Amino acid sequence: MPRVIPELARESLWPADADEARALQDRLAPRVRVEPLDPGGVRLVAGLDVSYGAAELVAAAVVLDAVTLEVVAQATVRAAPSFPYVPGLFAFRELPPLLAALERLTVEPDAYVCDGYGLAHPRRFGLACHLGVLLDRPVLGVAKNAFVSEAAEPGPTRGAAADLVDGGEVVGRCLRVQDGVRPVYVSVGHRADLDSACALVLRLSPRHRICEPIRRADRLSRAELAAPAGGKQT
DNA sequence: GCGACAG
DNA sequence: ATCTTGTCGC
């Protein structure tokens, strides 16, 4: 159901090589908007993730009720990788299949959470920013470790946080979502600010380190990857 | 030059 | 991301 303007997708997802990909990121980065995200406006949240097999991948999107965290809709897409994994150019590898999976959804999410970075990226345009700009909807990036940025060790309890800094600027936040458990790295993708992003991630992580939307998408993509190809594609 | 490097 | 056993703990 979520759609991207065809021209924008065609021009910003298929670079001929790494240099062109970096140029595309530099050209699109100015479109990112950082602004408060109204918690009450987020009823449906989509979690995105991709699992890899020998020569194929499965992209999954799972939509949850932001309050009850119950699954409202989900979709998967099986495809062949169309771009190699290059640190910093992650979006060109995962966005095409993820967008295809999103188109299969039967509901319109109010916000999206994806694996990886938003502004905590070398050119301030990680996967979360790229997806946000293409959809022009709120998107957050949650990674399991830092890339270009550094952060102090946050306090030991849930909710404790420390600035993620790169080149002298705050690009995200190292956030502990469970007592005594390693923190996650949150950065804004689009149409959100750090405070609202962290508040939402905490709400979406009532029990585990990985927030529920991404957790569900991870499980779904793995299950579909293991399932016999050609079967029902949610 | 060398190592590091979201998933 | 993925290749992989048992083990400790809620």
pLDDT tens, position by position, A176-225: 999 989 999 999 999 999 999 999 999 999 999 999 999 999 999 999 99
A195 annotated to a ligand binding site:
no
Sequence-ordered list of residues with C-beta below 8 angstroms from that of A115, at least 6 positions apart, any chain = A48, A49, A50, A127, A141, A142, A143, A144, A214
pLDDT at A232: 52
pLDDT tens string A115-164: 999 999 999 999 999 999 999 999 999 999 988 788 888 999 999 999 99
Across the range A87-114, mean pLDDT stands at 97
Which tokens sit at A29? Answer: 């980065």
Q: Work out if A88's Cβ lies within 7 angstroms of strand B.
A: yes
Residue A10: CB partners within 8 Å, gap ≥ 6? Answer: none
CA A35/CA A193 separation, integer angstroms: 5
CB under 7 Å from strand C: A 50-53, 115, 144, 222, 225
The β-bridge partners of A76 are A60
Q: Just give the CATH number of A6-226.
A: 3.30.2170.10
Q: Six-digit token pair at A95?
A: 């966005």
Q: Is A49 annotated as a binding residue?
A: yes
SS3 assignment, position A9: helix
Domain ranges of chain A: 6-226
